[in-house]
C-alpha cells in the first residue's frame, strides 16, 4: 500500500516540473526577478525589463519532458516552439521583420531637431563606438570567429534592433545571448554609465552649461529624412532597411498630414512590438541554453563594449573641447553610444547632479541620435567588409 | 575579404572606426548646410495640420 502511494506520488511528481528544477533555473529566476525589481523600484526601462524579466522567470520554470526521458520543457517554451504563439514572434525577430518595424516606430516618436541644430556634435555618434571594436578584438582573442566577434561587438552600439539585425546576418546562432545582452545593458545604462562618466571628468567639466541651440524649421525637419535615406541607401545598402524605416517614421511625424499614421507607428504598433520582442528575447534565457561559457563570455564582452563606448564618447568630447571656443559639457559624449533616449537621459541626470541649473537633455539628444546612425554606419561597414549582403 | 584571425579583427576594427568617423563627419557637413534651406521659404505648420488626416 505504502509502496503504491509512493509510486503514484513519484509518477505525479514526474508529471510536474518540480523534479526537473535545477540550480541554474534558480539563478535565472533570480536574474529575471532582479530585472523586474529594477524596472519597478528604480524605473530602469520598465517597457523592456518587465517583459524580459517575466519571460526569463517563466522560461526557467521547468515543465514535464516533451517526450518520456527527454529534457524538461517549460510552459513558455511550448508557446515559443513551432506552432506556438510566440514562435511567430521569435520568427519575426529572426527573419528581420520586427527590427525595421521598431525603427519605424522610433522614427515616428523622435524629433531629430537637436541633431540638425548642432551638426558638430554628430561626431560624438562615431566617437562613442570604440566599445564595438574593443569587444570585437577581445571576442576574436577568446576564440570566436570573426563573424561572431563582429556580432558580439555590435552590442557596444547600444542599439537593440541594429544588434539583432547584424547578428542575424553574421551569427544567427548567437541571436539569443546577444539580444539579451544588448537590451539588458541598454536598460541598465543608468547603472553602467555614471561611474565611467564621473571617473573621466572633473567636477568643473560636469558643471559646464551649454549655450541654447537654434530652432530648427519645419522645412529642415521634412527634408532631413529624405536626405539621410538617400545617403544611407547609396552608401550603406546592408543596413538601409532599418534606417529607411526610421526615416519613413520620422517623415510621417514631421509632415503633419499623416498624424494618424505617425501616432499608430509610434504608439499601438510600437507597444505591440515591444510586448512581442521582450517575450521573444526573455524566452531564450532558459538556464540550460543561457548558462553556458559562450553566453557568459558574450555578456561579459557586451559589458566591456558598453564601458569602453561610454568612455570613448566622453574622451572624444574632451578632445573636441581643445578646439572649440564654446566648450561643450563632456558628459554629452557618452550619449553618442545610441540607445535613444536612455543615454541622453543619463547625461542629463549626471550633469544635473553636478549643477542643478544644468539641463543637458536637449544637447545630449544630438549625439544620442547621431549614435543611431553611428551604429548603423559601423554595422554597415562591418557587413560590407565581411562580404555579407 | 577580411581574414578570420586576430589580425583580421584588428584590421576590420581600424578600418570600420576610421570610416565611421569619416562618414558621420560627412553627415555633419551636410547638416551644417541645412540652415540654408530656410532661404527657400517657410512652411506654415498650422496649415499643414489643417490638411491632416
| ipTM of this complex | 0.89
CA dist A370 and A110 (Å) reads 12
Phi, psi dihedrals of residue A65, rounded to the nearest 5° = -60, 145
**Which helix (H) or strand (E) segment is A138 a member of?**
helix A130-141
pLDDT bin (cut points 50, 70, 90) of residue A346 is: very high
Of A123, A130, A146, the CB nearest to B4: A146
Of B28, B34, B51, the CB nearest to A220: B34
Q: What is the mean pLDDT of residues A61-65?
A: 77
Distance from CA of A328 to the nearest CA of B (A): 17
CB pair distance less than 8 Å for B5 and A146: yes
CB contacts of B12 in chain A (<8 Å) are 136, 146, 150, 382, 385-386
| Residue numbers of A between 126 and 185 with CB closer than 8 Å to B | 126-127, 129-130, 132-133, 136-137, 139-141, 145-147, 149-150, 153
* A370 touching B (Cβ < 8 Å): yes
CB pair distance less than 8 Å for B4 and A145: yes
User: What three-state secondary structure class fits A246?
Assistant: helix
CA dist A299 and A295 (Å) reads 6
Which residue in the block uniquely carries the three cell numbers 572633473? A202
pLDDT bin (cut points 50, 70, 90) of residue A70 is: low
CA dist B4 and A210 (Å) reads 45
How many CB contacts within 8 angstroms connect chain A with chain B? 140
Cβ–Cβ < 8 Å for A193, A94: no
Rg (C-alpha) for chain A, rounded Å, is: 22
Within 8 A by CB and 6+ apart from A91, the residues are A97
* B16 touching A (Cβ < 8 Å): yes
Distance from CA of B5 to the nearest CA of A (A): 7
CB contacts of A378 in chain B (<8 Å) are 16-17, 20
Cβ–Cβ < 8 Å for A248, A232: no
CB contacts of A140 in chain B (<8 Å) are 5-6, 8-9
Residue (of A26, A339, A383) closest to A184 by Cα position: A339
Q: Half-sphere exposure of A27 toward its Cβ, with a 13 Å CA cutoff?
A: 11
Which residue in the block uniquely carries the three cell numbers 584588428? B10
Residue (of A75, A173, A36, A109) closest to A341 by Cα position: A109
pLDDT number for residue A32: 94
Answer yes or no: is B50 within a domain.
Answer: yes
Is residue A52 packed enough to be buried (19+ CB in 10 Å), middle (13-18) or exposed (0-12)?
buried
pLDDT, averaged across chain A? 90
Residue (of A16, A17, A30, A28) closest to A60 by Cα position: A28
Q: Give how many domains chain B has, as a whole number.
A: 1
Answer yes or no: is B37 within a domain.
Answer: yes
Q: Which of B6, B28, B36 to mutate to test the interface with A (most CBs of A within 10 A)?
A: B28
Classify the C-alpha dihedral A266-A268-A269-A274 as positive or negative. positive
Answer yes or no: is B39 within a domain.
Answer: yes
CB pair distance less than 8 Å for B9 and A145: no
Q: What is the mean pLDDT of residues A139-158?
A: 95
pLDDT bin (cut points 50, 70, 90) of residue A63 is: confident
First to last CA, chain B: 50
pLDDT number for residue A80: 67
Residue (of B8, B23, B47) closest to A381 by Cα position: B23
Asked if residue A200 has pLDDT above 90, the reply is yes
Distance of CA A232 to the CA centre of its chain: 21
Answer yes or no: is B6 within a domain.
Answer: no
CB pair distance less than 8 Å for B13 and A136: yes
Answer yes or no: is B9 within a domain.
Answer: no
CA dist A44 and A23 (Å) reads 27
CA dist A201 and A154 (Å) reads 26
pLDDT bin (cut points 50, 70, 90) of residue B52 is: low
pLDDT bin (cut points 50, 70, 90) of residue A199 is: very high
pLDDT number for residue A195: 97
| A119 → chain B, closest CA residue | B28
Predicted model pTM? 0.88
Answer yes or no: is B46 within a domain.
Answer: yes
Lowest mean pLDDT among A23-32, A123-132, A272-281: A272-281
pLDDT bin (cut points 50, 70, 90) of residue B51 is: low
The verdict on whether omega for the bond into residue A341 sits within 30 degrees of 0, i.e. cis, is yes
Rg (C-alpha) for chain B, rounded Å, is: 21
CB pair distance less than 8 Å for A259 and B38: no
Asked if residue A5 has pLDDT above 90, the reply is no
Of A123, A216, A255, the CB nearest to B24: A123
pLDDT bin (cut points 50, 70, 90) of residue A281 is: confident
Answer yes or no: is B36 within a domain.
Answer: yes
* A123 touching B (Cβ < 8 Å): yes
Q: What is the mean pLDDT of residues A181-191?
A: 88
Please tell me what DSSP assigns to residue A145. -
For the packed helices A85-94 and A268-282, what is the interaxial angle rounded to 10 degrees?
100
Of B9, B17, B30, the CB nearest to A130: B17
* B6 touching A (Cβ < 8 Å): yes
Lowest mean pLDDT among A33-42, A57-66, A119-128, A170-179: A57-66
Distance of CA B38 to the CA centre of its chain: 20
pLDDT bin (cut points 50, 70, 90) of residue A76 is: low
Within 8 A by CB and 6+ apart from A122, the residues are A115, A366, A367, A370, A373, B24, B25, B27, B28, B31
Q: Can you give the residue range of the structural domain that contains B42?
A: 21-53
Residue (of A106, A159, A102, A103) closest to A132 by Cα position: A159
pLDDT number for residue A7: 84
Q: Give the highest mean pLDDT range of A47-56, A204-213, B5-14.
A: B5-14
CA dist A363 and A3 (Å) reads 74
* A233 touching B (Cβ < 8 Å): no
Cβ–Cβ < 8 Å for A131, B3: no
pLDDT number for residue A179: 87
Q: What is the mean pLDDT of residues B10-30?
A: 95
Please tell me what DSSP assigns to residue A129. T
Answer yes or no: is B2 within a domain.
Answer: no
Within 8 A by CB and 6+ apart from A199, the residues are none
pLDDT bin (cut points 50, 70, 90) of residue A78 is: low
pLDDT number for residue A95: 86
| Residue numbers of A between 182 and 221 with CB closer than 8 Å to B | 214, 216-220
* B39 touching A (Cβ < 8 Å): no
Angstrom CA distances, A202 to A100, A196, A209, A225, A318, stand at 40, 12, 14, 38, 11
CB pair distance less than 8 Å for A219 and B6: no
Amino acid at each position: 500500500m505504502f509502496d503504491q502511494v509512493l509510486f503514484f506520488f513519484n509518477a505525479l511528481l514526474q508529471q510536474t516540473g518540480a523534479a526537473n528544477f535545477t540550480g541554474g533555473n534558480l539563478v535565472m529566476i533570480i536574474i529575471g526577478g532582479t530585472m523586474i525589481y529594477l524596472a519597478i523600484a528604480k524605473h530602469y526601462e520598465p517597457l523592456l525589463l518587465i517583459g524580459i524579466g517575466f519571460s526569463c522567470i517563466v522560461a526557467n520554470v521547468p515543465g514535464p519532458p516533451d517526450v518520456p526521458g527527454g529534457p524538461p520543457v517549460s510552459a513558455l517554451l511550448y508557446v515559443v516552439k513551432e506552432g506556438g504563439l510566440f514562435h511567430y514572434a521569435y520568427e519575426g525577430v529572426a527573419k528581420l521583420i520586427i527590427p525595421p518595424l521598431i525603427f519605424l516606430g522610433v522614427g515616428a516618436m523622435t524629433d531629430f531637431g537637436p541633431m540638425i541644430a548642432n551638426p558638430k556634435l554628430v561626431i560624438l555618434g562615431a566617437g562613442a563606438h570604440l566599445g564595438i571594436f574593443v569587444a570585437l578584438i577581445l571576442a576574436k582573442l577568446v576564440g570566436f570567429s570573426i563573424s561572431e566577434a563582429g556580432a558580439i561587438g555590435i552590442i557596444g552600439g547600444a542599439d537593440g534592433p541594429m544588434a539583432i539585425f547584424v547578428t542575424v546576418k553574421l551569427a544567427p546562432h548567437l541571436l539569443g545571448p546577444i539580444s539579451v545582452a544588448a537590451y539588458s545593458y541598454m536598460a541598465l545604462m543608468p547603472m553602467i554609465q555614471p561611474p565611467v562618466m564621473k571617473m573621466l571628468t572633473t567636477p568643473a567639466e560636469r558643471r559646464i552649461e551649454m549655450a541654447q541651440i537654434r530652432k530648427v524649421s519645419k522645412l529642415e525637419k521634412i527634408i532631413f529624412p529624405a536626405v539621410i535615406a538617400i545617403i544611407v541607401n547609396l552608401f550603406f545598402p546592408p543596413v538601409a532597411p532599418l534606417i529607411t524605416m526610421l526615416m519613413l517614421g520620422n517623415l510621417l511625424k514631421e509632415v503633419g498630414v499623416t498624424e494618424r499614421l505617425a501616432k499608430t507607428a509610434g504608439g499601438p504598433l510600437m507597444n505591440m512590438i515591444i510586448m512581442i520582442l521582450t517575450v521573444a528575447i526573455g524566452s531564450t534565457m532558459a538556464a540550460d541554453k543561457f548558462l553556458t561559457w559562450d553566453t557568459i563570455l558574450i555578456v561579459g564582452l557586451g559589458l566591456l563594449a558598453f564601458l569602453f563606448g561610454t568612455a570613448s564618447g566622453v574622451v572624444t568630447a574632451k578632445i573636441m573641447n581643445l578646439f572649440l571656443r564654446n566648450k561643450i559639457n563632456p558628459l554629452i559624449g557618452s550619449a553618442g553610444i545610441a540607445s535613444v533616449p536612455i543615454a541622453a537621459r543619463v547625461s542629463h541626470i549626471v550633469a544635473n547632479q553636478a549643477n542643478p541649473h544644468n539641463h543637458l537633455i536637449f544637447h545630449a539628444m544630438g549625439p544620442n541620435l547621431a549614435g543611431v546612425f553611428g551604429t548603423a554606419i559601423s554595422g554597415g561597414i562591418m557587413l560590407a567588409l565581411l562580404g555579407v549582403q | 575579404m577580411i581574414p578570420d584571425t586576430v589580425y583580421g579583427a584588428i584590421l576590420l576594427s581600424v578600418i570600420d572606426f576610421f570610416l565611421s568617423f569619416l562618414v558621420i563627419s560627412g553627415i555633419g557637413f551636410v547638416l551644417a548646410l541645412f540652415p540654408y534651406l530656410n532661404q527657400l521659404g517657410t512652411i506654415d505648420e498650422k496649415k499643414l495640420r489643417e490638411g491632416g488626416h
